[in-house]
Amino acid sequence: MFMKASQVVVEMLKAYDVRYVFGLPGDTSMALYEALYDARSEITHVLARDERSAAFMADVYARISSRPGVCEAPSGGGATYVLPGVAEAHGSSVAFVLLTTDVPLQGEGRGQLMALDQETIFGPVTKWNTLVKRADKIPETLRKAFRIATSGRPGAVHIVLPQDILEEEIKDPALYGEAECHLYPSYRTRPDETAVEKAAGLLIGAHSPVIVAGGGAVISQAWQEVTALAETLAIPVGTSINGKGSIAENHPLSLGVVGGNGGRGYGNRVLADADLILYIGCKTDSVTTRRWTLPPQTSDKAIIHVDVDPSEIGNNYPTAVGLVGDAKMALRDLLQALEGKGANRSWQTSPRVKEISAQAQAWWQAFEAKAAASSSPVKPQRVTKELAHVLPPDSIVVADAGTPTPFTAACCQTSQAGRRVIIPRAHGGLGYAIPGVVGAKLARPEATVVGLFGDGSFGMSAGDLETISRLGLPVTLIQFTNGCFGWIKIVQKLYRGGKYFSVDLSPDTDHVAIARGFGLRALRVERSDDLGDVLREAIQSDQPSFVEVVSEPEHEECPPVAKWLEDISRDSE
């Protein structure tokens, strides 16, 4: 049996139960699109308005569905445009399969239009990256791609498919996939038993331990194990931004996000006072550790580090015990070891937990005071508060960098564990949320989906308002309009003497009219007291909705960014 290579590609995607492919057509991808057309009853192609947006859609879809996100792009400009989205997915350990088509191999080196060394370009932002030079290698190449993307530390892989290779015929292709790699993480691994026993002993002997759960804990879906471990030894749990959801944030043992961006002050203090820190799937990056001052690298705190990637263990801190393995498997083994040692502490009666709860209550009271203000422009805290009142517990929030990140990280309290809040933290690129809600809604159609972004982000991805409208997705987009790139403006205020330069946007842009022009139901809110009713109406609507909120910029209402708050407090003394 002979089969066209482009058809083999699509049959292999079907073998991995791929349901959505995100992308845009180009001259080099016509054979692939013909094959996708023939398979349209089984695989839905989602047309984005640019390749970067397509990658963001696939990224968010993968984070929520635990299926590898699949994205395609043509050669030349398409391949260069998709790069930022691939970098974000890979940096956030998201299983991601990128297919780029390319100019014909037979014209290699002859100056073909759109010719590009795609392998070299994508090398730094992928886990594996290859150019297919023989059509009969396509099945094994795709099997390898899905296996690498989903196993170990998940990440992005990239396959280049030249135009002439896609037109070739393949005899008797081996069209099978590995069932283990339909979802991620695949092929989970367990840590060394001796290391588990040692870690259990250190945890039992610690006086004031703290857990810091990162994105790896959420990817592994280890929230039940994180919660069980915390309750077994009465250990408070902080998370990185990507680790948000590792424990329900209304649990008395939750500290919320810790670190420099979106961390609550009391949570950072509890972490600073710990005598042992258990990192779970956390890269101990600059944000979560406040540039390696929380704790200091010279600290005498005992560090236990669980990570599927051995290169992360001991990378930034001396480690007492490293547990190399999948977070869920490692915590199950650790819980079993603790049970064997008879470890059990009542967290409900713990004085330490009661003290943390009192500090948390004081923090939320301060938040409520800000959020209750009937101000115009609207304080970002008010947006978070009103959202909390109208969102169902299983909602999904996709937040952009800038204004939404610190307020969402600190103030959007998830009442259920699991991946509920998604923020691009590998590279913090703007323009993520508008396309991101597409991937979120397709991954979990029954969930209420909200996107949060600023007017700076709007200018980068407004075209995909048309995608949302075309697909008829009942999502709610909330724009913080403050007339500037607010994150940069507050940095210029605090550390550059208020020399504001190239950060202010035109005040005349009619964002609501633009959204309506793309077919969305759009409203503008200027008064705080109008916000709740408008958000409720938008979220309960069965149509795509856009809500513009005229909000205070960061240089006037400082977000929960630890260094900024400390510097402002010090300057005011």
Classify each residue of 347-365 as buried b or exposed e, where b means 16 or more C-beta atoms within 10 Å of its C-beta: beebebbeebeebbeebee
Residue 245, Ramachandran bin (φ over 0: left; ψ between -120 and 50: alpha; else beta): left
* DSSP of 549-561: EEB--TTTS--SB
pLDDT number for residue 435 = 98
389: nearest Cα among 523, 533, 285, 246 = 533
Coil, strand or helix: which one is 187?
A: coil
Same fold flag, 193-354 and 372-572:
yes
Q: Where are the alpha helices (DSSP H) in 123-192?
A: 138-150, 163-166
Q: What backbone phi and psi angles, to 5 degrees, belong to 365?
A: -65, -40
Mean pLDDT across the chain, nearest whole number? 96
- What is the C-alpha to C-alpha distance for residues 509 and 36, in angstroms, rounded to an integer? 39
pLDDT band of 573, cuts 50, 70, 90 = low
> Can you say how many angstroms the Cα of residue 114 is from the centroid of all Cα atoms in its chain?
31
pLDDT number for residue 110 = 65
Structure tokens at 338: 């603790």
pLDDT number for residue 246 = 98
Domain 372-572 has CATH 3.40.50.970: yes
Residue scoring higher pLDDT (373 or 246): 246
Task: Quickly name the fold that domain 193-354 has.
Answer: Rossmann fold (3.40.50)
The H or E element containing residue 304 is strand 302-307
The answer to whether the beta carbons of residues 319 and 304 sit under 8 Å apart is: yes
Cα torsion 312, 430, 185, 303 to 10°: value is 30
Handedness of CA 271, 276, 278, 283 (dihedral sign): positive
Q: What is the mean pLDDT of residues 477-496?
A: 96
The answer to whether the beta carbons of residues 47 and 24 sit under 8 Å apart is: yes
Chain position carrying tokens 């059990």: 344
- What is the C-alpha to C-alpha distance for residues 200 and 122, in angstroms, rounded to an integer? 41
Cβ neighbours, 10 Å, residue 521? 18
pLDDT number for residue 342 = 80
Strands 321-324 and 421-422: unpaired
Structure tokens at 80: 């260069």
- What is the C-alpha to C-alpha distance for residues 20 and 346, in angstroms, rounded to an integer? 46
Specify the DSSP class assigned to residue 199: H
The H or E element containing residue 222 is none
pLDDT number for residue 344 = 80
Name the least confident of 134-143, 345-354, 508-517: 345-354
Structure tokens at 46: 């989602």
- What is the C-alpha to C-alpha distance for residues 479 and 465, in angstroms, rounded to an integer? 13
Chain position carrying tokens 């993968």: 62
- What is the C-alpha to C-alpha distance for residues 18 and 69, in angstroms, rounded to an integer? 8
For the chain, how are helix, strand and coil distributed in percent, rounded to 5? Answer: 45, 20, 40
For 102-152, write each residue's pLDDT tens digit. 988 776 776 675 778 899 999 999 999 999 999 999 999 999 999 999 999
13: nearest Cα among 145, 122, 106, 113 = 145
Residue 566 predicted with pLDDT over 80: yes
- Which residues fall within 8 angstroms of residue 121, CB to CB, at 6 or more apart? 79, 80, 83
* DSSP of 499-537: ---S-B--TT--HHHHHHHTT-EEEEE-SHHHHHHHHHH
The answer to whether the beta carbons of residues 455 and 480 sit under 8 Å apart is: yes
pLDDT number for residue 107 = 64
Cβ neighbours, 10 Å, residue 49? 18
pLDDT band of 345, cuts 50, 70, 90 = confident
Residue 353 predicted with pLDDT over 80: yes
- What is the C-alpha to C-alpha distance for residues 54 and 154, in angstroms, rounded to an integer? 19
For 259-305, write each residue's pLDDT tens digit. 999 999 999 999 999 999 999 999 999 999 999 999 999 889 999 99
pLDDT number for residue 215 = 98
- What is the C-alpha to C-alpha distance for residues 218 and 417, in angstroms, rounded to an integer? 9
- What is the C-alpha to C-alpha distance for residues 523 and 516, in angstroms, rounded to an integer? 9
Classify each residue of 314-335 as buried b or exposed e, where b means 16 or more C-beta atoms within 10 Å of its C-beta: eebbebebbbbbbbbbbbbbbb
- What is the C-alpha to C-alpha distance for residues 210 and 424, in angstroms, rounded to an integer? 25
Coil, strand or helix: which one is 396?
A: strand
pLDDT number for residue 248 = 97
pTM of this prediction? 0.97
Domain residue limits, the chain: 2-181, 193-354, 372-572
Surface-to-core class of residue 202, CB atoms within 10 Å of its CB (0-12 exposed, 13-18 middle, 19+ buried): middle
Structure tokens at 130: 């290859």
The H or E element containing residue 485 is none
Determine the Cα angle at 48 with ends 218 and 111, to 5°: 110
The answer to whether the beta carbons of residues 356 and 251 sit under 8 Å apart is: no
Chain position carrying tokens 């391949």: 79
- State in words which class domain 2-181 has: alpha beta
- What is the C-alpha to C-alpha distance for residues 62 and 68, in angstroms, rounded to an integer? 5
The answer to whether the beta carbons of residues 206 and 273 sit under 8 Å apart is: no
